[in-house]
Chain A
Amino acid sequence: MATTTITKTEKLVGKRIRRREDPRLITGTATYVDDIKMPGMLYAAILRSPHAAAKIRSIDISKAKALKGVHAVFVGEDTKNAGAVPCGASLPGLRVPHHNLLAIDRVYLVGHPVAVVVATDRYVARDGAELIEVDYEPEAAVADPEKALAPGAHAVHPQWADNVAFTFHQEGGDVAKAFAEADVIVKQRIVSQRLIPNSMETRGVVADWHAADRSMNLFTSTQAPHLVRSLVAQILGLEENRFRVVAPEVGGGFGAKIQTYAEEILLAWISMKLQKPVKWIESRRENFLCTIHGRGHVDFYEIAAKRDGTITGIKLKIIQDLGAYFTVLTPAIPTLSVLMMPGLYRTPNIQADIVGAFTNCTPTDAYRGAGRPEATHGIERMVDMVAAELKMDPAEIRLKNFVRNEEFPFPTATGLVYDSGDYSAPLKKAMEMAGYDQLRKEQVEARKQGKLMGIGLCAYGEICAFGPSPATPAGGWESATVKIEPSGQVTVLTGISPHGQGEETTFAQITGDELGVGIDDVLVLHGDTSLVPYGIGTFGSRSTAVGGTALYYALQDLKAKVKKFGAMLLESEDVTLANGQCTDNKTGKSVGFKEIAAAAYRAMKLPPNTEPGLLATHFWEPPNFTFPFGAHLVVTDVDRDTGNVSIRRYIAIDDCGNILNPLIVDGQVHGGVAQGIGQALWEQAVYDDNGQLVTGEFMDYTMPRAHMMPWIESGHTVTPTPVNPLGVKGVGEAGTIGASPAVVNSVVDALSPLGVKHLDMPLTPEKLWKLISAGSNA
């Protein structure tokens, strides 16, 4: 597929433009945290608990301290006044456990940091950690949220015997009436298993304290550098304006790098203590244990429907496995599931309850989709089950219940207002691409031959572009600053913090079009709190919809100023700015961008009421979320002999509103689908009863590899959002959200001749083989 060569007059938005960030990445010259080296820098290694629950009787650090090259060893007692890991979510009655940087008298999960060794290099630091002797008194642990809630379970936090962190209730409409008047009620327990985000770059921190001017430089692999700055500066009692956080090149996040982690605070604290720069790089094993996990839902669904397929009510009880502690959003994630529980359907009556359960496990938090994949998986499975109950085609029941085009903006029973949509369009497009009717005929024939062929649909909706500030824990706006340099080149500073999403390109496209300059004249900078006024960061499919909109408005302000200078130079009152020129609409005379920039900075003369320079900053507060949607259609064949699932066709139709760069949008969909298929078929964080993570390395946690992935046939429908002037909705999480129910629905469909109605993920071959062999014996 060819990419486009840009000339200054060509419109950039909407083109398949190869990325501006790639040259440094494909040459190996980008700078990730572990690539940073400073004079005198020390290395930290963290000793972590091998037990899920234990009292610490004693810690002997003498041997480690004596090791040549070790500068310092710190334990929980040393850091106990250094603050705690913050949780940003608030819910009524929420029990927030105090999350120390290093364990003090107890450990609560495997991987709990117990001591930190700081040494001249990473080899010596690791040797030092091995020399620390900790005397533990292990206790029984609980690693399953349903078991944690059962009477008599081990209390994760001794002060809260029931392991309940919070309960949450929400209802809309009249759910009792809906169920009383239902023709059919379908109930199902549905598990969205624990997953491990596994960005290819683990986390890492370099902290560099300068006592003389009380300033901190903290380099960290994060999605939200400003939030890290505000939180860590506050926790350590440092001045925020002297605290610089840099997210250098970041090797993927997927939600797991939104949080402010213990190590970010700890490393800053150590750097202050030792007056030296200090680096810590997470190992993969640590990443499995100490970076947040995702999902961890046990859902109990009940759906009420009429005989004609109209869905009239949904009841949902969520048991959320929270883990032992909270990170910044932990308790908030399941509330997002509740918001999206109606999916794309008109259902006016809902009731939801959440119980947040402590377990001796890694905290759960936002992982690609964060709450919405769980909700979509649930509703899309349930809709299929209702269709099966009513002997309706799964496409028909969806088309019947979709919010209709004329109903937008559509208020949902959960209190949201869906912005815009044409929900049947992607589903119909997917069915057309697949040849749905023909596939169903083929399936009839296949079944006659005893073959297990499945066709699965999913129609998904998302809540994206987080979001209006009142609905978010830390502000939901975004900022952009645009500078036209005296040379005429354009520098964009954005508050988002991309780490693979390509906004250095898409934002340059927006800027180029608005200012009429070539893409090569635009530079997009991000991820450095000393450069960018402030920002919220990259997550929740918000970067382009919110950050891009802030940029759009900053550009409007700047354009106005450019025009003023252009008018001054042209001695005109009526000018147009286009194609890098300001043109007098009467005389046709024009002045170039460079001349205008030079004049604005040279300031020999200024337009009336205008200051020198060309710079504009805009903070944009979104009036609503955006609600992208789409449909996936998956054709699977299940091998009777082995239970192996092979995906014959994977069709993904997404509607993310206007598309700025189709190449990047496709990439986002593909990556999302891979993670969704990963959840559906392979991935799972498995703990044993002692709280040991059994799938704690790539040896046992199945990551999708190239040979496992099907070819993804992607397509789009375009329904712009009215929420922002770019008409963009967000695409980062779409693939993940649509994929797991589409795959599971397909496999359930394949096994439906055996009487299978529901399957929990992952759909391992053994799980399916057992059902097939039981079915064929029956």
Chain B
Amino acid sequence: MIPQQFEYSAPKTLDEALGLLAEGAKPLAGGMSLIPMMKLRLASPEHLVDLGRIKDLNYIREEGGAIHIGATATHQDVLSSPLLRGKCPLLAETAAHIGDVQVRNMGTIGGSVAHADPSADYPAALQALEAKIVLKGAKSERTVSAEDFFVDTFTTALEPGEIVREVIVPIDGDGTGTNYQKVLQPASGFAIVGVAVRVRKQGEKVTLARIGVTGLSNRAFRAKEAEKALEGRSGSPAEIQAVAALVGQGIDANSDLHASAEYRLHLTAVYAAKALATALGRIA
């Protein structure tokens, strides 16, 4: 219940924060993953840099045809943002599945993404959205795709000293439908599996299919074979079933107390089908 001692800084500017991080300090955003780990002494950083006071990290805005979400935007900010609800509803819908009211009030998109919990919700949506993640260090800034960002369990493309500065998600016009489906690990509220689907249709044909999956394996990923199998088709119930069956194919699935690998793979297909059907049904 008691964390170890640490030094604390709460800089007002990003540059100041990055300077401290370059010296080996660790960033603290919403703290929803880090602080419980510190209390159980599974994490013991010596120096924490609180990003919460940096005003220009907390925003959700439209810019250059995309939506930019600052690292310290909370899950509540995301799920209630009129901009996201209108123009990128998948992210808002996914945020509503994270944790609980209190966790959503504190937890941030930057913190969640950087933590890269393999059963977190956001990564599925970010994969399906082909989101870009902007990483900033003291001397550099670079943008990586969600696909390249999530490397392994609790492992991302972040280099030491870098933080997630913002997440960029696309604005999809008419003809696009999205959905996030989640199987809840009933004790923790994390995803046993989560499937995010983003589909676009022209006439009767699916022109774009993006499927992001979380919880199934060591990292969130895009189910590209399944995406390919759907593109060019109409999205009939039979096609949905066939596509859903491909989503977990070839994946080395996690196995734990709450779901064996076999069951997780099965759930992936079941919930992928639900997500596909719902997303297709939502195409305006």
Contacts and interface: CB of A to CB of B under 8 A. Distances in A.
Give yes or no for direct A-B contact (beta carbon below 8 Å). Answer: yes
Interface of A: 122-123, 126-127, 130, 283-285, 641-642, 682, 686, 694-695, 698-703, 705, 708, 765-766, 769-770, 773
Interface string B1-34: 1101100000000000000000000000000000
B266 interface: yes
A708 B186 contact: yes
A201 to B, nearest CB: 14
A642 B186 contact: no
A283 B186 contact: no
A52 to B, nearest CB: 18
A695 B257 contact: yes
A642 B4 CA distance: 43
B40 interface: yes
Q: Which 4 A-B pairs have the closest CB atoms?
A: A126-B2, A702-B187, A766-B263, A702-B186
B92 interface: no
8 contacts: A122-B2, A127-B5, A130-B4, A130-B41, A642-B183, A700-B188, A766-B259, A766-B260
B257 A699 contact: no
Given A700-B258, A766-B263, 18 more contacts: A122-B1, A122-B2, A123-B2, A126-B2, A127-B4, A130-B4, A130-B41, A285-B40, A641-B270, A642-B267, A682-B186, A686-B257, A695-B257, A700-B187, A703-B187, A708-B186, A766-B260, A773-B266
A67 to B, nearest CB: 12
Contacts of A130: 4, 41
B187 A698 contact: yes
Interface string B248-266: 0000000001111001001
A499 to B, nearest CB: 22
A130, A765, A770 — most chain B CB neighbours (10 Å): A765
A699 B266 contact: no
A769 B263 contact: yes
A682 B258 CA distance: 10
B270 A642 contact: yes
Contacts of A283: 1
Contacts of B183: 642
B81 to A, nearest CB: 24
B257 A700 contact: yes
Interface of B: 1-2, 4-5, 40-41, 183, 186-188, 257-260, 263, 266-267, 270
Contact of B187 (A641, A642, A699, A766): A699
A129 to B, nearest CB: 9
A699 B99 CA distance: 12
Contacts of B186: 682, 702, 705, 708
A701 B41 contact: no
Nearest to A202: B1
A769 B262 CA distance: 11
Nearest to A681: B186
A774 B33 CA distance: 39
Contacts of B257: 686, 694-695, 700
Among B5, B188, B260, the most chain A Cβ lie within 10 Å of the Cβ of B188
A695 B257 CA distance: 9
Contacts, number: 45
B190 to A, nearest CB: 8
Contacts of A126: 1-2
Contacts of A700: 187-188, 257-258
Nearest to B189: A705
A769 B266 contact: yes
A496 B260 CA distance: 47
Contact of A701 (B5, B187, B259): B187
A122 B3 CA distance: 11
B199 to A, nearest CB: 21
Contacts of B260: 766
A694 B259 CA distance: 14
A773 B262 CA distance: 12
A701 B4 CA distance: 26
Nearest to A698: B187
Contacts of A708: 186
Contacts of A694: 257
Nearest to B190: A699
A490 B84 CA distance: 62
Contacts of B259: 766
A698 B41 CA distance: 17
A686 B257 CA distance: 9
Contacts of A769: 263, 266
Contacts of B5: 127
A699 B1 contact: no
Q: Which of A283, A698, A700 has the most CB of B within 10 A?
A: A700
Contacts of A701: 187
Contacts of B40: 285
Contacts of A642: 183, 267, 270
Contacts of A122: 1-2
Most B-side CB within 10 Å, residue of A703, A705, A708: A705
A18 B188 CA distance: 34
A75 B95 CA distance: 49
A156 B184 CA distance: 38
Nearest to B36: A699
Nearest to A695: B257
Contacts of A705: 186
Contacts of B41: 130
A708 B183 CA distance: 13
A699 B267 contact: no
Nearest to B270: A641
Contacts of A766: 259-260, 263
A766 B257 CA distance: 10
A770 B260 CA distance: 11
A682 B2 CA distance: 29
A773 B263 CA distance: 11
Contacts of B4: 127, 130
Contacts of A682: 186-187
A133 B280 CA distance: 60
Contacts of B187: 682, 695, 698-703
A512 B219 CA distance: 65
Contacts of A641: 270
A253 B1 CA distance: 21
A460 to B, nearest CB: 26
Contacts of A698: 187-188
B192 to A, nearest CB: 9
A755 B30 CA distance: 51
Contacts of A770: 263
A684 to B, nearest CB: 9
A716 B267 CA distance: 41
Chain A CB within 10 Å — which of B2, B41, B183, B259 has the most? Answer: B2
Contacts of A773: 266
A770 B264 CA distance: 12
Nearest to A767: B263
A771 to B, nearest CB: 12
A699 B188 contact: yes
Give the one of B5, B188, B257 with max A CB within 10 A: B257
Nearest to A773: B266
B117 to A, nearest CB: 12
Nearest to B39: A283
Contacts of A695: 187, 257
